Amino acid sequence: MPGILPSSSNANREAQVSPGLFAPILSLVADLVFPPRCAGCGRVDHYWCAVCQRDIAQMPLAPSVSPLPPLTAIASTGTHTGKLREAVQGLKYDNNRQLAEPLGERLAARLAALNWTIDMIVPVPLHMKRLTERGYNQAQVVAEYLAGRAGLPCVPEAMRREKFTRSQVELNALERLANLSDAFQGSPELLAGRAVLLIDDVYTTGATLSNCGQAAIAVGARAIYGLTVTAARSY
């Protein structure tokens, strides 16, 4: 009796190899060809070296900043300068997601020092276009790490960014508020009656947190707090 050959569909399935199986190999090859450099000092073979980690760990936690309504309070872990600034930019622009750990540790230490009652952590969302370009939301990366350390739920789906806005970098405070007007939409099912901690990477004028907080309050959030890795200057 002749042997039974596998059907073409079975053969095709057996021949298929999940692309995910190659991910570790591709990552290793990329590191060999383009070795990682520390975002703080440029040292080769480190995404973030022990010296830079010691430097930012020793930086004092920043005082609270003056919140724009409707936020109850806003705090940051430090001024947007030096190695802390380099770490934020490495996470945000260089796909260096390993930096979520040292930056998330600073957020966790700052939150632990505050007398805030929080029900959930919500990262400030990116518009889908920006998310597609970058591949990830830097605020969500650090928010998820913080949530694990603080024992709180991280609920990124609680807020959406409905409007694609121009970059805030060259805008003044009033222009930033206008630029972000009606940019966010909150989920009433997830936010109603909750005290929400919004997480972002940098506090500049407070326009982003203020507009995001307004969208949360509009669907019934009980209180809004804001926490960022850095503040652009002292307030």
List the domain boundaries for the chain: 60-231
CA dihedral 9, 13, 19, 22 (to 10 degrees): -140
pLDDT tens readout for residues 66-86: 888 999 999 999 999 999 999
Amino acid, single-letter form, for residue 7: S
Q: What's the average model confidence in pLDDT over 23-44?
A: 67
Left (φ > 0), alpha (ψ -120 to 50) or beta: where does 151 sit? Answer: left
Confidence of residue 44 (pLDDT cuts 50, 70, 90): confident
pLDDT tens readout for residues 90-134: 999 888 999 999 999 999 999 999 989 999 999 999 988 889 988
pLDDT number for residue 14: 39
CB-CB contact of 75 with 110 (8 Å): yes
Query: Phi and psi of 131, rounded to 5°?
Result: -65, -40
pLDDT number for residue 63: 73
pLDDT number for residue 23: 44
pLDDT number for residue 177: 57
Q: Spell out the residues 6+ positions from residue 96 whose beta carbon is closer than 8 angstroms to its own.
A: 36, 39, 47, 48, 90
For residue 44, what is the DSSP state? B
Q: What's the average model confidence in pLDDT over 205-222?
A: 94
CB-CB contact of 158 with 186 (8 Å): yes
pLDDT number for residue 22: 47
| Local structure of 94: helix, strand or coil | coil
Query: Phi and psi of 163, rounded to 5°?
Result: -110, 130
Q: Residue ranges of the alpha helices (H) in 22-81?
A: 23-33, 50-57
Left (φ > 0), alpha (ψ -120 to 50) or beta: where does 167 sit? Answer: beta
Longest dimension (CA), the chain: 86
Whether residue 26 has pLDDT greater than 80: no
pLDDT number for residue 127: 87
Multiple choice CATH, 60-231, 3.40.50.2020, 3.40.50.2300, 3.40.50.300, 3.90.320.10: 3.40.50.2020
Confidence of residue 2 (pLDDT cuts 50, 70, 90): very low
CB-CB contact of 213 with 186 (8 Å): no
- The neighbouring-strand residues paired with 161 are 184
pLDDT tens readout for residues 159-207: 999 876 656 556 556 665 566 667 899 999 999 999 999 999 999 888 8
- The neighbouring-strand residues paired with 81 are none
pLDDT number for residue 202: 93
pLDDT number for residue 36: 82
pLDDT tens readout for residues 127-166: 888 899 889 999 999 999 999 999 999 999 999 998 766 5
